[in-house]
Amino acid sequence: MSRINSIEYIDLKTDVYSNQLTIRVDDVLDMAGSNWINDTLSGINGEGGWRNAGSSTTMSSSTWQYHQIVIDGTSQDTVSTTGWTLLTTGMLNGWQTRDNLFHPYDVYIATDGRPAMMMVEQPIVRSTVF
């Protein structure tokens, strides 16, 4: 068990540097809560709202019960996707204070099927090598 817990959000865009971040599935399961961002259209309660974009995969109510982390950043930042599989792309809003605009995110779930979800803001660069 981690000494750090209740981490659901990482902000890489508050500085002017290029950041590299690796979040393992175990990290999300250990430190992040579940169902704090959800599909407001399906009536599941949580902090933020989700909308699918285009014809991408919709998420079921069981997927919303996953441990979730959101990562915000810019095109100068890089996040490792090793151990993660892209599930869908969509828009997220309302989970930050005074934020009622939808922002584009890619949603990744654990490749091994464990209940972990990583939402990565679209400008962030993805890499499988660090």
83-128: per-residue pLDDT in tens?
999 988 887 765 554 556 677 889 899 999 999 999 999 999 999 8
Q: Is residue 1 part of a domain?
A: no
Domain of residue 120: give its range: 9-127
Q: Is residue 3 part of a domain?
A: no
18-41: per-residue pLDDT in tens?
999 999 999 999 987 776 665 554
Q: Is residue 72 part of a domain?
A: yes
**Token pair listed for 126:** 């993805």
Q: Is residue 31 part of a domain?
A: yes
Overall domain count for the chain: 1
**pLDDT computed for residue 59 by the predictor:** 66
Q: Which residues of 83-104 are buried (b: 16+ CB within 10 A; e: fewer)?
A: bbeebbbbebbbbbeeeeeebe
48-76: per-residue pLDDT in tens?
556 555 545 566 667 767 888 889 999 99
Report whether 84 contacts 21 (CB < 8 A): no
Q: Is residue 49 part of a domain?
A: yes
Q: What is the CA radius of gyration of the chain?
A: 14
pTM confidence score = 0.80
